[in-house]
Amino acid sequence: MRSLVAIIFTLLFLPVRAEQINIAVASNFIMPMKKIVKVFEKKSGHKVVMSFGSSGKFFAQISHGAPYHIFFSADQVKITALEKANLTVKNSRFTYAIGALVLWSPTEDYFVDGAAFLAEGHFNKLAMANPKLAPYGRAAQEVLANISLSEQVRTKQVIAENIAQAFQFAKTGNAEIGFVALSQVMNNGVISSGSSWVIPHSYYQPIKQDAAILKRAKNNQVSQDFIAFMRSTEVKNIMTSFGYTTSHYEH
């Protein structure tokens, strides 16, 4: 009898019908989002299909009708543009994360003082995301300008399409060092491998990352539930463990 009651109780709290949503996610947020989605799917019973890539490419796709329910951009500009085009659900926009930049090499003890290492120039290639397309690329450009090294390292720059590719360039040795997202090399609050210089926030404009529910998901409850979950303390703690700061929390 107790088993029957337990089964009935469980069924009462399961979704009436498991649904699927498709989300477009900036490539710097791959690892945190995978962890967040795993928890959400377990709690809700719904399926979240993730697509990762350049925010610029997602913006173009969404502008042309790509079937995403939610867009997690690497900046605020693209969400603003989608709002102006009436392609987002009103009042669904929020800043889900504030990113951090790090100079990183997979080689242990490759450098200690990142700024001094860049100035000395004892490297052949420096990977960074395209400043014209990627917020983390723009941040890297600002850092180089602030330490007066823009011209000195220009010929050594290897420009990647997005921050994920910049990380791959550095990780695989196609570039000895790279400006990457802190979330790509941090887990559980620790950078566990390689050499790193976490760039002071004063060296670049805050990388505020916004998300919004897209117009096609206006009446989609799962999309609303996922955004609500993104605002929770549980998700905030996950993001903090990957080096992000947040401007929201659960009251």
- Would you list which residues are annotated within the binding site? 55, 163
DSSP 16: S
Nearby residues of 77 by Cβ (< 8 Å), 6 or more positions away: none
Whole-angstrom distance, CA of residue 53 vs CA of residue 59: 11
- AA letter at 228: A
Residue ranges for the known binding site for molybdate are 55, 163
Tell me which residue has tokens 């790193």.
Answer: 196
Whole-angstrom distance, CA of residue 13 vs CA of residue 141: 50
Tokens of 81: 């543009």
Q: Sign of dihedral through CA atoms 141, 144, 149, 155? A: negative
Element (H, E) at 41: helix 30-44
CA triple 9-40-245, angle to 5 deg:
140
